[in-house]
A and B are shown apart, each in its own frame.
Chain A
Amino acid sequence: MAEKLEAVAGVLPHILRHEVFYIGPIPVTSTVVNTWLVMIALFIGVWLLTRKGFKEVPTGIQCILEAIVEFIYSIIDSGFGRQGRRFVPIIGGYFLFILAMNISWFIPDLVPPTTDIMTTAALGISALVVVHATAIYEKGLGGYLKQFVSPNPILLPMNILEELIKPFSLALRLFGNMFGEKMVTSIIFVLVPLFAPVPVMALGLLMGAIQAYIFSLLVTTYLAHFHHE
C-alpha cells in the first residue's frame, strides 16, 4: 500500500506541462505541441467533411454536420436570441475547439491542453477581446462606454470589476473541471488500474462536452449583455 501512495504522489508531474524544445530563448511546452496536434486534427477533419460541398437535400455526413450547426444555433438562441446568429462563427469555433481539446484526452499519452491553465487563460482573454471589440464596433465608442455608467455612475467600479472577473472565471472553470477530472482518473488508475477508471473516464467525456457547451453559452451571454439595449 505504501508504494502505491508513493506512486500517487508522483502522478502530478505527468499531468503538468514540460518543455519540449526551444525556439531561440523561448521554450515550447508540451501544451503548445498538443494544441497544434488538436488543431491539425480539427482542420483535417473539417476539410474532409466539407470537401464534397453541400446538397439541397442532406444525406449521410451532411445530416450530422447540420445537426452540429443546429446545436450551435440553439446555444445562441437560448443566450442571445435569433438576432445573435451573426456570431455563429466565433461561438461555434469556441465550442468545437474546446470540445476537440477536451476529447483529445482519449488519445493515449496526450495530456489535453485544457488541463493547463495557460490554454484556458488564453481562451478567456480572447473571449474578453471578442466581446469588447464587437461591442465597440457595433455601438461606437460612446455607446460602449455608456454601458459602464448605466444605470448609475456609482456602479462604474462594479461594472469594470465585473468585466475583469469574467475571463478569470471562464478560465478557472474550464481549467478546474478538466484538471480535476484528469487528476482523479490518474489517481484511480494508479490505485486500481483494471476497469475502475472506465466509469470516471466516461464521466470525463460527458464533462468535456458540458464544459465546451457552458463556455460557449457563457460567451454568448456576455455578448448579449453588451449588445442588447
Chain B
Amino acid sequence: MTAGLFAVALTIVLPAVVSALSQAWSTVTAMNAMSRQPEAADTMRGALLLALAFMEALTLFAFVIAFMLLGRVG
C-alpha cells in the first residue's frame, strides 16, 4: 500500500521536475532572445507558449496515469 502510493507519487513528481527544468530552460533562452531583439518579441512569444504547452502536456499525461494508478492502489 505505502510502496504503491510512493510509486504513484514518483509517477507525477519525476515528469514534473523534468518538464519544469525544460520549461525553465526554454523560457530563459526566449527571454535572452527577446532582450536582444525586442522587435521580434511577438513572434517569439507565440512560439514560446506553443513549446511550453507541449512540454506541459507530458506532465499532464503523467498526471492522468498517476490518477489511474491511484485507483488501482488505493
A34 interface hit (Cβ, 8 Å): no
Count of interface residues, chain B, beta-carbon cutoff 8 Å:
13
- Whether A210 pairs with B57 at a CB distance below 8 angstroms is no
B53 interface hit (Cβ, 8 Å): yes
- Whether B46 pairs with A78 at a CB distance below 8 angstroms is yes
Specify which chain A residues have a CB less than 8 angstroms from the CB of B53 in the assembled complex: 173, 214, 217-218
- Among candidates A78, A176, A213, residue contacting B60 with C-beta atoms closer than 8 Å: A176
> Which residues of B36-63 have CB atoms within 8 Å of chain A's CB atoms?
42-43, 46, 49-50, 53, 56-57, 59-61, 63
Chain A interface SS verdict (over half): helix
A180 interface hit (Cβ, 8 Å): yes
Interface digits, A110-133 against B, CB 8 Å rule (1 contact, 0 not)?
000000000000000000000000
Specify which chain A residues have a CB less than 8 angstroms from the CB of B24 in the assembled complex: none
* Distance in Å: Cβ of A171 to nearest Cβ of chain B: 10
Specify which chain B residues have a CB less than 8 angstroms from the CB of A175 in the assembled complex: 60
Specify which chain B residues have a CB less than 8 angstroms from the CB of A134 in the assembled complex: none
Query: Which of the four size classes fits the interface of chain A?
Result: 10 to 19
Using CB atoms, name the residue of chain A closest to B54.
A169
- Among candidates B49, B61, B63, residue contacting A210 with C-beta atoms closer than 8 Å: B49
- Whether A176 pairs with B63 at a CB distance below 8 angstroms is yes
A221 interface hit (Cβ, 8 Å): yes
- Among candidates A78, A173, A213, residue contacting B56 with C-beta atoms closer than 8 Å: A173
A214–B60 CA distance with the chains assembled, in angstroms: 15
A177 interface hit (Cβ, 8 Å): yes
- Among candidates B50, B56, B57, B63, residue contacting A217 with C-beta atoms closer than 8 Å: B50
Specify which chain A residues have a CB less than 8 angstroms from the CB of B49 in the assembled complex: 210, 213-214, 217
> Which residues of A60-88 have CB atoms within 8 Å of chain B's CB atoms?
78-79
B64 interface hit (Cβ, 8 Å): yes
- Among candidates A169, A177, A221, residue contacting B50 with C-beta atoms closer than 8 Å: A221
Using CB atoms, name the residue of chain A closest to B56.
A173
* Distance in Å: Cβ of A207 to nearest Cβ of chain B: 10
- Whether B43 pairs with A78 at a CB distance below 8 angstroms is yes
* Distance in Å: Cβ of B39 to nearest Cβ of chain A: 15
Using CB atoms, name the residue of chain B closest to A117.
B64
5 contacts between A and B (CB under 8 A): A172-B57, A172-B60, A172-B64, A173-B57, A214-B53
Shortest beta-carbon contacts, A-B, top 8: A176-B60, A78-B46, A214-B53, A173-B57, A176-B63, A172-B60, A169-B57, A173-B60
Give B residues with C-beta under 8 Å from A.
Answer: 42-43, 46, 49-50, 53, 56-57, 59-61, 63-64
